[in-house]
Amino acid sequence: MKLAKDFPILEAELEYATPRSESNVNKLCRLTGTAPPVAVGTSGVKGDDFRQLAPLHPFSLLSPFTWVARRPVKKKMEPCSCDTFVALPPATIDNRIIFGKNSDRPCDEVQEVVYFPAAVHDNLKEHLKCTYIEIDQVPETYAVVLSRPAWLWGAEMGANEHGVCIGNEAVWGREKVCDEEALLGMDLVRLGLERGDTAEKALNVIVDLLEKYGQGGNCSEGRMVFSYHNSFLIADRNEAWILETAGKYWAAEKVEEGVRNISNQLSITTKIDREHPDMRNYAKQRGWWDGKKEFDFAATYSYLDTAKMMISPGRYCEGYKLLNKHKGNITFETMVEILRDKPSGINMEGEFLTTASMVSILPQDSKLPCIHFFTGTPDPERSVFKPFIFVPNISQLLNTSSPTFELEDSVGKKLQFNSKPDRRHPLYQKHQQALEILDNKTEKAKTMLDNMRKLEKELFKEMESVLQNKHLQVDKIVNLLHQCTEDEIRIYKSNVSS
């Protein structure tokens, strides 16, 4: 079993923060055998206590970072990472598209599952407040279900009422990361879902907003400042799109069959179906592309040797192998098992760990409902995937909604907390207590895990029945996710108190 700490990272220096230097690159070469040339302005992490010297090699196993401590205390930080997958017929069975994502975030960050109904916005003069900036509102937004870090406006992953799913990844490359507050990649996930009723329309929403408002800002709550570019996997009932960005520049690849995954590296090479109009000219101006050889987005905008991309050790390659292992027979249960895989590093442990997971079934038959499964808790191997289906009058998801805190004063100035607010929702709290038992590997732990698997198996069977019988009990579906979390909490309570 691989932990995040098992992957190559550099040890913190016992000095004050300094710009990236050649010596840091030499250390990287010694530890990983590969490194980008020294470049200015590629850092994405700063802060009062730590500063990232460089996104050292975005394509080593887990995109390691070097951190420098201001205080004489050694500290290692595991890298941020995520993995998003999609499988389309003929790789799947029953003419379904299967979407899945693990969200890997700081281990103390709570992720909530929340629902927002569709809405009509009559007063378009009122701006929409995202995590950091305000943007223009649109006349209508669609209903969405989101899995998101509880401190921000956007989302790591989610779905809308039209069967569109989006997950994003942190990526780095040659283009400088913007620390100034703009739209987070996670904001763009939510905006794409709220405004796009197909995968390609959601892509249009994201690239238009990227051009108008840019991307940037702190992607972590607290004193550490952590920023990055973004890639997105966007899927609907018919197709999927990979969208990868570098600042305002982007490339997109259409996926109509088979399997595809993204991780913390650029992965679009020469198959580019859509692109920013100035993407190639900008690369020529920066000296990254000579304008003669075939344009390769990942190779041009990052330090990746794309010829070795599918054989290099790393989560991108490991994820691709897992998808291909099951190609032709992929079900939503298969995707759940991929997200639970620890030897590959897909299910991460350490200071950065898998804090939440999502799997969606998108039937190509429009008469069938899309079904979305969320954990709302860390470590999918020791969590329950619970279903959600869009129907009118959805009950509020109280067990997976975090408490809210006033983040601004009366004049709009951000409040500073001396410590992180307690954002644990009811399910998260009980799950944390359950993990203490599961860690002990006692007979009680085995009984509890068996009960969790039994509940999940029953839910999977019930959802498969919905798809096979083409019948929805709407009065039951309204409370589906809420009732599932109640059942899960009951398992935790009975074992914690006994």
Give the residue numbers annotated as catalytic, written as ranges: 82
The SS3 assignment for 195 reads: helix
- The burial class, CB within 10 Å (0-12 / 13-18 / 19+), for 30 is exposed
258-262/45-47 β-pairing: unpaired
- The burial class, CB within 10 Å (0-12 / 13-18 / 19+), for 176 is middle
The 10 Å Cβ neighbour count of residue 453 is 11
Calculate the CA 284 to chain-centre distance: 31
386-388/165-171 β-pairing: unpaired
Pairwise CA distance, residues 166 & 84, whole Å? 9
The SS3 assignment for 169 reads: strand
| Residue found under tokens 């990052």 | 302
- Residue 283 in contact with residue 228, Cβ under 8 Å? no
Nearest to 193 by CA among 235, 158, 238: 158
In degrees rounded to 5, what are phi and psi of residue 263? -140, -150
Runs of H (alpha helix) within 40-184: none
Runs of H (alpha helix) within 180-307: 185-195, 199-213, 279-285, 297-301
User: Side chain identity at 107, as an amino acid letter?
Assistant: C
In total, the chain counts a number of residues equal to 498
Pairwise CA distance, residues 299 & 43, whole Å? 19
- Measured on CA atoms in the order 346, 269, 334, 172, is the torsion positive or negative? positive
At a CB cut-off of 8 Å and minimum separation 6, what does 34 contact? 28, 57, 59, 60
- Residue 114 in contact with residue 107, Cβ under 8 Å? no
The 10 Å Cβ neighbour count of residue 382 is 19
